[in-house]
Amino acid sequence: MKITDLTPGDEGQYFCCLEEWSDEMKEAGDSKQKWYEYMKNKGLRVKFALDENNVAGGMIQYIPIEHSMFEGRDLYVVLCIWVHGHKQGRGDYRKRGMGTALIKAAEEDCRQMGAKGLVSWGIAYPVFMQASWFRRKGYKVVDKSSFMRLLWKPFDENAVEPRFMKPKKLPEKGSGNVNLALFRNGWCPAQNLACERAKRASAEFPGKISLQEFDTKDREIGKEWGILEGVYVEGKKIRTGPPPSYAKIRRKIASRIRKMH
């Protein structure tokens, strides 16, 4: 196994998170590519874990905290660390130590860049990005939000603990039409997929939807709302992880329309 940096020839597999075989990745559109073009000169770092045949089985992406969904300074944030675990495509690469090798490489990279620590989000349940996995790697929980955990590993005794960005306001309910508000940053195909499905579903109800789209690649927009990602119907957030099916999103929109009309 070896760890390598992203090169121009690898960008395609990065944009689809190593899932070239996935129709859902195609459905998510090109928002991740646009996000990458916006962020690549703002400190974004991407690394791959390659097997003995130079096939990428895992990846990690991390950015300065100033461009993330968290509050802090002089830190880097792991947006996600991902080891391909599907039978389709390149196959299952779990349990080979790729995740551990990737996080160690990211830590060393961030130290060399002068960051005072590395931060990650984690989930309290045994699913993707498990908080318990990061704790085993020496990370400490410093903030909580529902089932989400914010963890960090400081490299400097003067490092300041990060915090979750708190919502400052929510989209209002519609007046006459159902208000559908989409907050999209672009870094995560799963969130992009949820937004694309919601937008496509809204088109089935002409004249009954007021669609608002917020591009939170612009840090000021994210700070104004305190929201980086989300699909809101009449001010109520739809859970988008994992992304709900098109049919489920359409039902939620249709239900709100019936109640209004």
Domains of the chain are 2-163 (3.40.630.30), 178-260 (3.40.30.10)
State the pLDDT at residue 1. Answer: 92
Asked if pLDDT for residue 261 goes beyond 80, the answer is no
Phi and psi for 236 in degrees, rounded to 5?
Answer: -105, 130
Per-residue confidence (pLDDT) for residue 175, from 0 to 100: 87
Per-residue pLDDT of 4-59, as tens digits, reads: 999 999 999 999 999 999 999 999 999 999 999 999 999 999 999 999 999 999 99
The pLDDT, as a whole number, for residue 198 is 97
Which of left, alpha, beta for 73 (phi over 0: left; psi -120 to 50: alpha)?
beta
> What does pLDDT average to over the chain?
96
Q: pLDDT tens digits, residue range 53-105? A: 999 999 999 999 999 989 999 999 999 999 999 999 999 999 999 999 999 99
Contact 189, 20 (CB under 8 A): no
The reported pLDDT for the residue numbered 72 is: 97
